Structure 1
Amino acid sequence: MRTVLIVEDSLTETQILTRHLQQAGLVVVSVTSGEEAQIKLSLQKPDLIILDVILPGQSGFELCREIKKDPHTKQIPVVICSTKSTDVDKMWGNMLGADAYLPKPIDGQELVQLVHQLIK
């Protein structure tokens, strides 16, 4: 089964994302910070990562940059999912290696389509 790692500090957002992804037949693992994400990534490689930008400690942008620099994780698609959705935010995410940028509130159908497209 395909696995998605959600890095999101909002329980409500995590539940919404998880519900959409599980209904699409995906396994979901979630953490609430960049530090926890790095620990998970050292133990298990998901098929895709969904990142919030505003996280405690390390930002999602910083984590995205680290994921894409690391030879062990750089091939994992990263989707930034954030309320920060200006063109500058999207450009910044793209510059740091994000494969896609979804604004919140998310459209469940759009999320699932994007995830399936990125993990083929």
Structure 2
Amino acid sequence: MNATSVGTILVVEDSPSELELMSHYLQESGYKVLKATGAKEAIEKIKVEEPTVIITDLVMPDMSGFELCRYLKKNPDTQEVPIVVCSSKNKEIDRLWAMRQGAKAYVTKPYTRDQLLRAIKSVTN
């Protein structure tokens, strides 16, 4: 799969090391990566760029990943963009709640490169 058919992924993650690791995995796989360190920055970037997929953490300052999911799903411009949650919250209730807020896939940290890529493929096919 080449980068043109793969598209652009917006990664929303407040941990610099997680953001870099995820970006590295995605760029290595041919994706164009946009980075945001919080939900508010992500919302600004989405207005300018049109990501194919959004990957978000849940626990962030200012606005949680759950709130970001709700915001994106209520907005006509972004409601069709698939969201993958990537979080250290590994309880089933967190996964179910994320899905109720509009997430299409859920990956728990720590994750492997393959788990991350599989989640992206599952929401883009």
Normalised to the residue count of structure 1, the TM-score between the two structures is 0.96
1:113 shift after superposition: 2.1
Q: Calculate percent identity across the aligned residue pairs.
A: 38
In 1, Cα distance between the equivalents of 2:42 and 2:76?
16
The residue aligned with 2:87 is 82
The correspondence for 2:55, drawn from 50, 74, 92, is: 50
Q: What is the total number of aligned residue pairs between the two structures?
A: 120
Answer whether contact 2:106 2:119 (CA < 8 A) is retained: no
In 1, Cα distance between the equivalents of 2:107 and 2:88?
9
1:19 shift after superposition: 1.1
1:44 shift after superposition: 1.3
The correspondence for 1:102, drawn from 101, 107, 123, is: 107
In 2, Cα distance between the equivalents of 1:55 and 1:117?
25
Q: Kindly indicate whether residue 120 of structure 2 is the aligned counterpart of residue 115 of structure 1.
A: yes
The correspondence for 1:20, drawn from 25, 35, 40, is: 25
**RMSD, aligned CA:** 0.9
In 2, Cα distance between the equivalents of 1:41 and 1:94?
21
Q: Deviations over 1:85-115 (max 9, x none)?
A: 1011001001101000100011111111221
The residue aligned with 2:11 is 6
Q: Which runs of 5+ in 2 are unaligned?
A: none
Normalised to the residue count of structure 2, the TM-score between the two structures is 0.92
Q: Kindly indicate whether residue 81 of structure 2 is the aligned counterpart of residue 93 of structure 1.
A: no
